[in-house]
Amino acid sequence: MPRPTSDVQACEAHAADADLDDLRARLTAARLPEAETVCRAAPGPRRWEQGVPLADLVDVVTYWRTGYNWRSFEERLDRIGQFRTTIDDLGIHFLHRRSPRTDAIPLILTHGWPGSIAEFIDVVDELADPKDADAPAFHVVVPSLPGFGYSDKPATTGWGTERIAAAWVELMGRLGYSTFAAHGGDWGGNITTVLGGRFPAHVLGIHTLFAEAPPGLSTEGLTAVERKWTEETRDFWRHRAAYAKQQATRPQTIGYSLVDSPVGLLAWILDKFAEWSDTEDSPFETISMDRVLDNVTLYWLTRTGASAARIYYESHNSLDPELRVDVPSAISMYPRDIEKCPRPWAQERYRQIVRWKSPEVGGHFPSLEVPEYFVKDLQEGLAAVLAAHR
């Protein structure tokens, strides 16, 4: 079994008690606005038309202050295995769970925004050591994006998705994995596409939730469902993507609030978990409040609200229109994700789609919303990828 190089060091997570005390004090002293002015008589998406409803926020803040246990999350990270290495003068943090199976394949999972490594902690064990002996097994690597979590914050511009993908190849090489599979959604999907397109000598194949077609394609010949996907995606970018424009153009400005106010940070992130999940009203219909707070508290304790937002400044609309992915690709389009790409469009970039899946349930965060299905879909998708590669 390959062993890490000396450039990789084990680490542990442990927030100072003073930082946790300060968080609770800030939550206690929070100043909140009045309630929203839209209909809120019954559960439903209309309650969220102006953003996070006051009553919902108060409930989460109360639990965050009085019931949530950050130490439990730290312990889970330590059990999986945490490491750091320096690549291109930037410290990169990652989880690494080796499989006991001799036939395991290296796999890198990349998160997006407003997610983090917290998205994957419930699926790492099953991917590494599946209960089904016939399912593929993986040596799982889950890095924190630059400026996210326990990775360092870039001090200069230039850490866009192309550079991150190159760093991931270097990271996997240091772990002894000269070839590997890759998965991602959101920014992780973008990075996974770059990995497959730029580094075919290292990438066995990819599984992505975020297929990105080249620009300028026609809707002619699309099915009614595919046309609906394009209309929904266009509507999203026209009417519901102000957060992305803000972070792509003025990440420093919003960053002051995200780093200074835990309630502001919570609302900014919770809004996306609510809108982008496959639920009728609250994200907590499918995602536990603890897991959302693991994610938000990680942002808070590492003070990464501004540095994480800068990935939009570095990479918004930056995917090379000419980039093509020739390695085997498995693509899943969850029904409530914010961008869904028709297969005919995807085929213009991904030249060897070996599995295409349109699940019946799930949104932007399937590893949290439908973790058992997510694992099965990822296993089956990567099994098809590996079969095609051989």
Cα-flanking dihedrals φ and ψ of residue 149, to 5°?
A: 55, -135
Residue 76's pLDDT is: 97
Distance CA 78, CA 277 (A): 28
- pLDDT value at 303 more than 80: yes
- pLDDT value at 74 more than 90: yes
pLDDT tens for 101-138 read 999 999 999 999 999 999 999 999 999 999 999 999 99
pLDDT, averaged across the chain? 96
Q: Give CA 258 to chain center in angstroms.
A: 18
Residue 5's pLDDT is: 56
Instruction: Give the list of residues 6+ apart from residue 49 with CB closer than 8 angstroms, or none.
Output: 36, 38
Residue 38's pLDDT is: 86
40 pLDDT tier (thresholds 50, 70, 90) = low
Going by their DSSP bridges, the two strands 105-110 and 138-143 should be labelled as parallel
- pLDDT value at 150 more than 90: yes
Average pLDDT for 22-27: 98
pLDDT tens for 173-194 read 999 999 999 999 999 999 999 9
Cα-flanking dihedrals φ and ψ of residue 105, to 5°?
A: -110, 135
Average pLDDT for 82-97: 98
pLDDT tens for 351-366 read 999 999 999 999 999 9
* CB of 328 closer than 8 Å to CB of 389: yes
Residue 6's pLDDT is: 62
Instruction: Give the list of residues 6+ apart from residue 80 with CB closer than 8 angstroms, or none.
Output: 95, 96, 97, 121, 124, 125
Average pLDDT for 68-72: 98
41 pLDDT tier (thresholds 50, 70, 90) = low
Residue 91's pLDDT is: 98
Distance CA 329, CA 339 (A): 18
Residue in the block written with tokens 């707070």: 293
- pLDDT value at 377 more than 60: yes
Distance CA 68, CA 213 (A): 41
Which helix H or strand E contains 312, and what residues bound it? helix 305-315
Number of neighbours of residue 332 by Cβ within 10 angstroms: 25
Supply the pTM of this predicted model.
0.96
pLDDT tens for 210-239 read 999 999 999 999 999 999 999 999 999 999
Residue 173 to residues 2, 168, 177, 243, 348, Cα–Cα distance (Å): 10, 8, 5, 35, 30
Average pLDDT for 263-284: 97
Q: Worst-scoring range by mean pLDDT, 2-11, 52-61, 106-115?
A: 2-11
For the chain, what percent of residues have pLDDT higher than 90?
95
318 pLDDT tier (thresholds 50, 70, 90) = confident
Residue 1's pLDDT is: 44
Average pLDDT for 320-327: 97
**Is omega for the bond preceding 2 within 30 degrees of 0, making it cis?**
no
